[in-house]
Amino acid sequence: MPPSRAYSDPDVIAHIADLTLRSRRLAEGGISGQHRSPFHGFNVEFAAYREYTPGDDLRRLDWRVFARSDRHYIKQYEEESNVRVTFVVDASASMNYRGSRAALNKFDYAATLVVSLAMLLSRQQDPVGLVLFDEAAGKILPPSATQAQVTALSEVLQTCTPARKTELGGLLRSLTDRLRRRGFLVIVSDLFTDLESVYDGLDRLRFLGHEVLVMQVVDRDELELPFEGPTIFKDIEGDEQVFAEPGAFRKSYQEAMRGFLSEVRRECGGRGYDHICLCTEDPLGDSLARFLRYREDSVHHASGRH
């Protein structure tokens, strides 16, 4: 991908083209096709047609349009609503890391993930937005459903140079004042930060009605510590350096990392956030498609549709 850093990857997009990213919760707003509004039954008027996507209610198909065009279209009504999706993306220095077995560093992998999902959501007519953060909020793009929004989002990511330390918890708390309408927050980070602060921020946002999806991005080297021989380890977000023999503490390090990931998974599940851990060594298209299929099945099951 470097040096162009063009985050629109045709292979990833092809893997998820027939899938959806749906909200588990009801949303409030204007017109859309994938989500139902809680304000059912008030001034329900026909608004427009949109093309059928898997999972739509078949009772909404307009067979007269099908007879004329040989294409399936769904009737949209004013009562249906958008889900405003905001990607909160880690742009701290630790996201620069790229191990020997990874094709991309963590930030480029995360940015490709975000652009791919933004394209998918744009097709669903859901507004998408972006918040870049390190020690504080950097660039912010408010959610929009325009065709130009995905391009703008991609350009912001391409011009970003990850730096400084991670401070996700404080950012999440600040978002409680910025995000006035309920929405769907997708957190994309390695989560190498104060987790208690993160959970506190996410709990506040969830209490206000936001849905949360945590997408954790890690490198295989960070899980396994594969280095051999005396090595200098430098804090990528600080100035500390340690000269050590990795073999002497590799086993305890790996156990600590497994514990870290297990804790994140357990805490997210217990607090009601969806969580997925993605490794930069793994093909993004495969991993993302597998997760979206699983999520589609669980959303359909929860809504009583099989």
Residues 180, 212 within the same domain = yes
Residues 95, 67 within the same domain = no
- Does some domain include residue 26? no
Lowest-pLDDT choice from 20-24, 33-37, 214-218, 287-291: 33-37
- Does some domain include residue 152? yes
Q: What's 17's domain CATH number? A: 3.40.50.410
27-30: Cβ within 8 A, 24+ apart: 27/81, 27/82, 27/83, 27/84, 27/182, 27/183, 27/184, 28/81, 28/181, 28/182, 29/81, 29/82, 29/83, 29/84, 29/181, 30/78, 30/81, 30/82
Residues 228, 260 within the same domain = yes
Residue 92 has pLDDT above 60, yes or no: yes
- Does some domain include residue 1? no
Residues 222, 171 within the same domain = yes
Q: Quick one: pLDDT at residue 202?
A: 95
Q: d(Cα 8, Cα 148) in Å, to the nearest integer?
A: 14
Residue 60 has pLDDT above 90, yes or no: no
- Does some domain include residue 38? no
- Does some domain include residue 97? yes
Residues 91, 204 within the same domain = yes
Lowest-pLDDT choice from 2-16, 17-31, 134-148, 285-299: 17-31
Residues 154, 56 within the same domain = no
- Tens-digit pLDDT profile for residues 219-268: 998 888 775 544 444 545 455 555 445 655 677 888 888 999 999 999 99
Q: Quick one: pLDDT at residue 90?
A: 94
Q: Quick one: pLDDT at residue 164?
A: 77
Residues 155, 244 within the same domain = yes
What are residue 274's phi and psi, to 5 degrees?
-70, 145
Q: Which residue has the higher pLDDT, 182 or 105?
A: 105
Q: d(Cα 70, Cα 271) in Å, to the nearest integer?
A: 46
Q: Quick one: pLDDT at residue 113?
A: 97
- Does some domain include residue 179? yes
H or E element, residue 128:
strand 128-133
Q: Is the CB of residue 95 less than 8 Å from the CB of residue 110?
A: yes
- Does some domain include residue 125? yes
Residues 55, 121 within the same domain = no
- Tens-digit pLDDT profile for residues 163-185: 878 789 999 998 888 887 889 99
In total, the chain counts a number of residues equal to: 306
Residue 35 has pLDDT above 90, yes or no: no
Q: d(Cα 24, Cα 111) in Å, to the nearest integer?
A: 24
Last residue of a domain, one of 34, 56, 77: 77
Residues 131, 55 within the same domain = no
Residue 33 has pLDDT above 50, yes or no: no
Average pLDDT score, the chain: 80
Q: Where are the alpha helices (DSSP H) in 218-283?
A: 220-224, 250-271
What tokens appear for 253 in the block? 């390090």
Q: Quick one: pLDDT at residue 4?
A: 46
- Does some domain include residue 121? yes
Q: Is the CB of residue 149 less than 8 Å from the CB of residue 137?
A: no
What's the total number of domains in the chain?
2
Lowest-pLDDT choice from 45-49, 90-94, 187-191, 219-223: 45-49
Residues 187, 150 within the same domain = yes
Q: Quick one: pLDDT at residue 50?
A: 60
Q: d(Cα 129, Cα 137) in Å, to the nearest integer?
A: 13
Residues 51, 70 within the same domain = yes
Residues 62, 108 within the same domain = no
Look up the domain containing 58 and give its range: 46-77
